[in-house]
Structure 1
């Protein structure tokens, strides 16, 4: 049973949402503040995914997400009361895997959680092997990425995105194609998920993220992974 950490400061919302998620087959722990959530994660409390409200008192959800991403690959879904572009982009740039606008429909959230947990599972690529792109090596069998011989720490979403590029090196992959293959969201997903994750990935694999030589934008189409 997947164990979720729900970070929500409103007791009534937390109770209603956690009850609904338990009814859908999840084990749910609740933290009433960002500080408490960070304490639980620092104590190595078993958590498969974090549901993180943005508007928290004290340390807000954006900052909690940033701190989680410093050393923990656990997937994060942001719960935001506002779906405007600024909030969404800021949240994704903090390292969130997805976002859901409140009020949350439990079955929609359940579907998002299950999709993320599927891609976070240690499943192996259908085609295993080592792809070498410049000083970058992507081992799709071991699910390990190295750059110049040093392992690169990636979140599960970043890793699956890079593997998708590596297995189709030289091909242009559209945002909608990536949403379907990596996020498992079909053609109803938000392309900002792709753009934000590409930006985070570039920060980890490119010598100059602002001037990428490996993962290039093909304006009007999508992205392509090429050897420099």
Structure 2
């Protein structure tokens, strides 16, 4: 059973992109969601062939999480292929516990080896360490936010205003989550548009005006004088720093 992700007070790795290779559909979905909450961009593969294809077609890749027991081969094959021309951090996630096997994979170039079952908090911490060893600093993301009667819990996918649940559309929640993960800091128009609507939407600033207006109407005590969802004219938006932050 996977433990709940820990709630941090920093910024997740910004534009960190990782490949998750896991054939168990439920576990893959759970890990993908937990990593997305932390702000990581996640590519997922359910087989060795799919993972090899993604490695071939993906330019920048910052980390790999690799299961070994794949339906069409052993994940060790992917490790060997990766280490031929990349130093990308790689963490093995496997139910195999034989010490000799773990030692062989670590000697072959794996940065870490995590035995199932494991807690998501531990996986995230080990991922941050592996990234740090390659010069990429990724602090825990803010996933629980409280200020002025507003409570946002990204892990539980829940938003409350003065103790009452607030219903948001998927796009509204995605936009709010992007701001919460970087609470107190300005996120540019282009960054928000790319992260919420995709790279093709970076000039569509009217999307932001529309959805920020909708969020303020639902979350601000006085939408005309917002104190939480703030505009930085000509630059972007920010959510005010969390209470006690």
Secondary structure, in 3 states, of the residue corresponding to 1:79? strand
1:32 paired with 2:46, answer: yes
Could you tell me how far apart the structure 2 residues matched to 1:95 and 1:76 are?
8
Measured after TM superposition, the shift of residue 45 of structure 1 is: 3.8
Residue 104 of structure 2: aligned partner: 90
Q: Provide, for residues 54-107 of structure 1, a one-character-per-residue CA deviation record: whole Å limited to 9, x for no partner.
A: 111222111110111111211110001022202201221321111111123111
Q: Provide, for residues 96-143 of structure 1, a one-character-per-residue CA deviation record: whole Å limited to 9, x for no partner.
A: 1111111231110100111111111179xxxxxxxxxxxxxxxxxxxx
- Are the aligned partners of 1:62 and 1:90 in contact in 2 as well (CA < 8 Å)? no
- Are the aligned partners of 1:50 and 1:76 in contact in 2 as well (CA < 8 Å)? yes
The normalised TM-score by structure 2 is 0.47
- Runs of 4+ deviating beyond 3 Å: none
The normalised TM-score by structure 1 is 0.51
Secondary structure, in 3 states, of the residue corresponding to 2:34? helix
Could you tell me how far apart the structure 1 residues matched to 2:97 and 2:31 are?
19
| Equivalent position to 1:47, from 39, 54, 61 | 61
Could you tell me how far apart the structure 2 residues matched to 1:34 and 1:94 are?
18
Equivalent residues in 2 for 1:92-107, closer than 5 Å: 92-107=106-121
Residue 60 of structure 1: aligned partner: 74
Residue 129 of structure 2: aligned partner: 115
Equivalent residues in 2 for 1:1-228, closer than 5 Å: 1=14, 2-121=16-135
Structure 2 unpaired stretches of 5+:
1-13, 138-245
Question: How big is the alpha-carbon RMSD for the aligned residues of Structure 1 and Structure 2?
Answer: 1.7
Secondary structure, in 3 states, of the residue corresponding to 1:100? strand
Could you tell me how far apart the structure 2 residues matched to 1:74 and 1:34 are?
17
Measured after TM superposition, the shift of residue 10 of structure 1 is: 1.1
Q: Quick one: structure 1 residues 44 and 21, their matched pair in 2 at CA, closer, same or farther if it must change by over 3 Å?
A: closer
Could you tell me how far apart the structure 2 residues matched to 1:79 and 1:118 are?
19
Q: Quick one: structure 1 residues 31 and 83, their matched pair in 2 at CA, closer, same or farther if it must change by over 3 Å?
A: same
Q: Quick one: structure 1 residues 38 and 23, their matched pair in 2 at CA, closer, same or farther if it must change by over 3 Å?
A: same
Secondary structure, in 3 states, of the residue corresponding to 2:110? coil
* Number of corresponding residues: 123
Could you tell me how far apart the structure 2 residues matched to 1:43 and 1:17 are?
23
